[in-house]
A and B are shown apart, each in its own frame.
Chain A
Amino acid sequence: MASSNGSNAAIVGTGQTEFSKSSGRSELQLACEAIKAALDDAGLTPADVDGMSTFTIDNNEDVDLVRSLGVENLRFSSRVGHGGGGSVGPLAHAMAAVDSGLADVVVCWRAMNERSEYRFGASKMSAVGGAPGAGTGFIEWSLPFGSASPAAWTAVQAQRYMHRYGVTNEDFGHVSVQLRKYASTNPNAWFYERPITLEDHQASRWIVEPIFRLLDCTQESDGGVAVVVTSLERARDLKQPPVRILHATQAVPFEFETVTNYYHEDLCSFDAGIACSRELYRRTGLGPRDIQVGMLYDHFTIAIYWHLEANGFCKQGEAADFVKDGHIAIDGTLPVSPNGGHIGEAYIHGMNNIAEAVRQVRGTAVNQVAAVENVLVSAGTSGAILSRAS
């Protein structure tokens, strides 16, 4: 059972496929490979798995995974909405399942061919929303105006922030440069050994003027990532040092909308991120200064600002300077996404950032931050603090 000060669930394994632009195999195979790798990492087998959780937008069905992997019986299975913003939600579900006894070993995954099979960042051409639960109801209010891509949806929020705080597109460039610098020394990153300069950023073409250039946008990737969650008690007998899920939470604040989150009063205030951050700090008793690494969901460069401010790493409106002054670098006050994040490593919708959080806590990351006790993973409508098990 959960103690009053945090959960007793832990991540005991991570696994991933290669990150590419064309995996050459099915999304189901990517999911199977990532989950098998995560179980191998933990020293567990598919027969140990009795719980699963993923995204509503993941195309893989639990039944197909059960019969491909050889799982004996799932006692718990769930899906979380809100796209990538909800990416830490499966971890929250896994934690709750393990803490409550609904399941003993839960795998969380995200696996897709978003580049080679469909263009995730492409413009949507139909004003009809997707399946229930897919979080596409907002399409009704954006597509008829030619706001049809993730870049366009996010740009109007970004523009208001730029207007309020006098931030320019060149400021955003410092985020890209840092994330690509991290990726350049991460052999698993798509942009391994390919750093960029601020000039490269400024020379990249406009996607949405005068807000996002190409190098402000995350990439599209093929690949799969999985993690395995079990109890801290069981974790002691497994291969890896456990990484405790101190707490994980979801947030859907009033007037929130998935992707086109336009309806709360002040769009410079990241309502969902703030709600997650408050809950994480309240439940764990920690604060921003107790966090050594931030894994922040970077679908666009400016999102790093929003997460930095929402989680209290800098004050509202000060994130551009915080980044420019080097605070998110490896030797900064809060290294951010040392794997290169989505922009540099791969865009597995937050799951690869969770895997990096685990490596940072274990001390096995390629761009390892010194003396990591707590990593905060912030995706928007979900977040977690992962910690060393004492």
Chain B
Amino acid sequence: MSDATPAVQRPAPHGSRDSAFFWEGCRRGVLMGQRCADCGAWRHPPRPMCPHCQSVEREEVELSGRATLYSWAKPVHPPLPMFEPGYLIALVDLEEGQRMLSNLCDVSPEAIEIGMPLEVFFVETAEGGAVHQFRPRQAS
């Protein structure tokens, strides 16, 4: 993110009992994923039961943080006081297969290509929270 910190901070995520591990991971600077401990299927958003084998046993695992861009948009109106004008929202597909909403940073709209490789980083929010962000990654 740029140095111009908005006067009003980005709202903190408010997790549920089932998603607390995810946001706690963001505060530690780690992108966490939820995986079924029995059949190994990933899932997002988090939920208590595996939809494939109905197991409630689950693992909370650090993810690679690598993703590709699935879609994006630039909200213009109404402006939000806690976001710098020109900010981008993005849907990303994680290397592990889950899809999630985030922000796309450090790229101008003209340079965006759907499918472009991305990597995760984190920013602080109000109330001492943190959220995941994505920026272009050099394809390896």
Contact = CB atoms under 8 A, between A and B. Distances in A.
A159 B12 contact: no
Interface stretch (A28-36, A139-147, A297-305): A139-147
Contacts of A156: 71-73, 89-91, 101
Nearest to A212: B73
A206 B101 contact: no
Contact of A262 (B14, B19, B74, B91): B91
B137 interface: no
A375 interface: no
A207 to B, nearest CB: 5
B89 A160 contact: no
Given A127-B11, A163-B71, A141 B101 contact: yes
A145 B101 contact: yes
A159 B72 contact: yes
A149 to B, nearest CB: 7
B100 A144 contact: no
Interface in A147-186: 147-149, 151-152, 155-160, 163
B51 A254 contact: yes
A159 B74 CA distance: 10
Contact of B131 (A144, A155, A157): A144
Interface string B75-113: 111101011000101110000000111110000010000
B104 to A, nearest CB: 10
A152 B77 CA distance: 9
Interface of A: 122-123, 125-129, 137, 140-149, 151-152, 155-160, 163, 205-211, 214, 254, 260, 262-263, 267
Closest 3 CB pairs of A and B: A155-B73, A160-B71, A146-B83
21 contacts: A127-B12, A128-B14, A140-B13, A140-B16, A140-B45, A143-B11, A144-B12, A144-B129, A145-B101, A156-B71, A156-B91, A159-B72, A205-B77, A207-B75, A207-B77, A208-B73, A209-B73, A210-B109, A254-B51, A263-B99, A267-B71
